[in-house]
Amino acid sequence: MRRLWLWALVLGGLLCATATAAELPRSYPHSAVLDGAAAYRLRWGRRGSVLAFRLEVRTRGYVGFGLSASGGMASADIVVGGVERGQPYLQDYFTDENRVLKKDPQQDYHLEYAMENSTHTILAFSRELHTCDTNDKSITESTVRVIWAYHHKDMGEAGQNYHGSNRGTKSLRLLNPEKEEVLFASLPYFDLTNKDVPVPDKDTTYWCQMFKIPVQHEKHHVTKVEPLIQKGHENLVHHILLYQCSSNLNDSVLDYGHECYHPNMPDSFLTCETVIFAWAIGGEGFTYPPHVGLSIGTAADPLFVLMEVHYDNPSYTEGLVDNSGLRLIYTPVLRKYDAGVIEAGLWVSLFHNIPPGMPEFVSEGHCTLECLEEALGAERPAGIHVFAVLLHAHLAGRAIRMRHFHNGEEQKLLAYDDEFDFNFQEFQYLKEERTIVPGDNLITECHYSTVDRIRMTWGGLSTRNEMCLSYLLYYPRINLTRCASIPDIMEQLQFIGVKEIYRPVRQVKTWPFIIKSPKQYKNLSFMDAMNKFKWTRSEGVSYNELVLKLPVNVRCSKTDNAEWSIQGMTALPPEIERPYRTEPVICSSSSCLHCSLFLTVLFVVHVTASAIGNIGPFV
C-alpha cells in the first residue's frame, strides 16, 4: 500500500472527521454536475450564515470555482485550490472588468479538507454568505451563475496555467431550501410526450397536444413531475405548460397536435385555460411537499389536458423533430391537500410594452385585492398557502420580484430573483409557506434592460417579446386560475401625443385600432406609432413613471373559461413604495469568521485510490 500523508492544522482543540459517503447528503444536501462529461461535480449545503462547498473533479491539477454576475470571467469572485506534492493550497481571487486575475487581500474562502488520488481532486471549503469584501459576491436566494475550470497541472508548476476548454458556467439557486427525500422508484408514472413534432424553421413556435390522463375513477396524487427533454434539444424547448381542459371533451380530440394560438387550431384547445403545472428552461423535476399533491382521478380533476411546448429556434434551424414532454409520478396513498396553480402578473398583450435603449424599465402585473377578495371570500376565507413560485420573463428580463401586501402593508417578498437568467427558470420552494387571505394583493414586479434594442419591446409569445408572470403553487385548491391585470392603453397613447383613434370596420393588422390624429401618426397602428415616437432615455423614464400609476383592467378567471364577476373591471394600483426597499444585509468579515467559526480541524489528505475507497465514492 502506498504511503498515506495526513496533515492537520487545529484551529481549536476539537477534532472533526471527514465526511463519509453516508454523511455526504447531510453535509451537502445539494449537488450538480457542472460539465457535460461529468468530470466536475459540485456539492453544497448551508450551515447558518455559512455556505459549505465540496468540489469533486477529475484532475490532479488545480481546480477553479467562482461566482459571476454575467457567467463570464469579468468581475468574478473566484477560488482556486488543489493538492501539490501532498500539500494543500486554496486561494481567494477576484477578476477586474478586464478579466485580470488578482489575489484577494481578504481571504474569505476557508479550506476544510482536500484529497487527491490517481484521477481526482476533492476540495471542501466554506464561505460566509455575505462578507465585508467588495471583491466578493453576496450569496442570496437569487439565481447564481457559477463558473468552473480545471487544469491537469497545479497552479504553482508554471504560473497561472490556462484552463483551455476545461471551463464553463451553470446557473444554480444555491440557497434553495432542502427538499425532504422521497423514494419514487416503486411508484407508478405516466408520460405525456410529443411524438415526432416537426419544429418549423422559425423563431418561435408554440405546439399544443391533447392528452387523456390514464388514471381515472379513483383519486390519486401526483407527487413529482419531471421534464423529459429530448437529448440535444435542451436549448430548443423553452418551456412547457400543462392545462386542464373541459371534462366534456371526448377521445376524438386525442392524438392530434397543432400550433397553439393559430387561427386554424382545434376548438377543443380553447377549453384549456387552467394551468396545472409549469416547467421552464434550465429547471429540473419538481417534488411536491409531503402533505400536498396534484389530484387526479376524480370528476373534479383533469381528465383531458393540453400540453403547450414553446420551441425557441432563433437560428431558424431546419429539419428539427422533437419528442419532449413531462413524466408524472403518482401514488394511491393520498396526501392531506390538493395543490392548485394561480397564474399572476401581466396579461400577455401589446398593452405591455417597453421603450428601446432603457438600462432599467419596470413593469408591474397586479393580482388585485378585488380579485382575491371575491375568489377567496367565496371559496376559502381562511386563505390559501403558497409553497412554491416560478417567476417567468423572457430575454430582456433582469430581475423579478413577487411583492405581497396585507391590508395595504407590505410583507416580506414572497419570491424574488435579482439575477434572473432567461435560460434557468424553475419553481422556487419557499422557506416557509405563505398564507394569502382576503384583503391581500400581489404584485409581480419585472425589471428589464433594452439598451441593445432600437425598437419597442412588446408583450407577446416570442422570446424576443416579453412576459411578466408568476406561477404560484398553493393548497388547498380553489376555483381561481388566473389573477392578473392589463394596463390602460389610452394614457399610453396620450403620452406620445395621440389625440384621436378609430376602429376600422375590417381590422387586419391594425389591432386594436388605428390612429386618426395628429398628422404624424395618421393611419398608423398602435405598434407603428409607438415605434415612430423618438424615444430618449429621459422620455423612457417618464413613460415608466406613467405606466406604473395607470388604472388596470382586472383579469380574474375560474376553470372551464368561467370568470369571477370582477373580471374586466377597472381598478387603481395600490400606493406602494418604489423602488422596493431591500432588507439590510449583515455581512461578516474574514476576521469575524475566524472568531466565530466553531472549533474544528482543517485537514488535508493525500491518499491512494484504494484509500479513497474507504471514504466512499465521490463521482
Chain segment 493-514, per-residue pLDDT in tens:
999 999 999 887 765 555 678 9
Q: List pLDDT tens digits, range 100-115.
A: 999 999 999 999 999 9
End-to-end CA distance of the chain: 23
* Strand pairing class (286-287; 220-228): antiparallel
| Distance of alpha carbon 198 from alpha carbon 389, whole angstroms | 32
Report the pLDDT value the prediction gives residue 19, as an integer from 0 to 100: 45
Q: Which helix or strand (DSSP H or E) is residue 595 part of? A: helix 590-596
357 in Cβ contact with 540 (< 8 Å): yes
The residue from 40, 150, 206, 448 that is catalytic is 206
Report the pLDDT value the prediction gives residue 3, as an integer from 0 to 100: 38
The one-character DSSP state at 537 is H
Q: How confident is the model at residue 178 (pLDDT cuts 50, 70, 90)?
A: low
Span 176-192, average pLDDT:
75
605 in Cβ contact with 18 (< 8 Å): yes
Report the pLDDT value the prediction gives residue 255, as an integer from 0 to 100: 72
15 has a pLDDT exceeding 70: no
Report the pLDDT value the prediction gives residue 160, as an integer from 0 to 100: 60
Between 602 and 205, whose confidence is greater?
205
206 is catalytic: yes
260 has a pLDDT exceeding 70: yes
Kindly report the average pLDDT of the chain as a whole number: 87
Residue 136's Cβ-count burial label (10 Å; 0-12, 13-18, 19+) is buried
Q: How far is CA 276 from the centre of its chain?
A: 17
| Distance of alpha carbon 513 from alpha carbon 404, whole angstroms | 36
pTM (predicted TM-score)? 0.86
16 in Cβ contact with 603 (< 8 Å): no
Report the pLDDT value the prediction gives residue 602, as an integer from 0 to 100: 39
425 has a pLDDT exceeding 70: yes
325 in Cβ contact with 461 (< 8 Å): no
Report the pLDDT value the prediction gives residue 4, as an integer from 0 to 100: 36
Helices (H), 230-322: none
| Distance of alpha carbon 413 from alpha carbon 72, whole angstroms | 29
Neighbours of 489 (CB within 10 A): 18
| Distance of alpha carbon 515 from alpha carbon 528, whole angstroms | 10
Report the pLDDT value the prediction gives residue 9, as an integer from 0 to 100: 33
Report the pLDDT value the prediction gives residue 179, as an integer from 0 to 100: 64
Q: How confident is the model at residue 590 (pLDDT cuts 50, 70, 90)?
A: low
Q: List pLDDT tens digits, range 85-96.
A: 999 999 999 999
| Distance of alpha carbon 294 from alpha carbon 385, whole angstroms | 15
* Strand pairing class (601-606; 110-116): parallel
566 in Cβ contact with 556 (< 8 Å): yes
Instruction: Give bridge partners of residue 509 from the DSSP assignment.
Output: none
* Strand pairing class (220-228; 292-296): antiparallel
Report the pLDDT value the prediction gives residue 584, as an integer from 0 to 100: 77
Report the pLDDT value the prediction gives residue 599, as an integer from 0 to 100: 31
- Those residues whose C-beta lies under 8 Å from the C-beta of residue 251, and which sit 6 or more positions away, are 212
Report the pLDDT value the prediction gives residue 581, as an integer from 0 to 100: 82
Q: How confident is the model at residue 570 (pLDDT cuts 50, 70, 90)?
A: very high
Cell numbers at 270, concatenated: 380553447
Q: List pLDDT tens digits, range 266-316.
A: 999 988 988 999 998 888 889 999 999 999 999 889 999 999 999 999 999
Span 56-71, average pLDDT:
95
Q: How far is CA 23 from CA 16, 182, 604, 617, in A?
A: 13, 18, 18, 12
Report the pLDDT value the prediction gives residue 182, as an integer from 0 to 100: 58
The residue from 163, 366, 392, 447 that is catalytic is 392
- Those residues whose C-beta lies under 8 Å from the C-beta of residue 249, and which sit 6 or more positions away, are 210, 268, 271, 303, 304
30 is catalytic: no
256 has a pLDDT exceeding 50: yes
40 in Cβ contact with 121 (< 8 Å): no
380 has a pLDDT exceeding 50: yes
Neighbours of 128 (CB within 10 A): 26
Span 326-332, average pLDDT:
95
Between 619 and 383, whose confidence is greater?
383
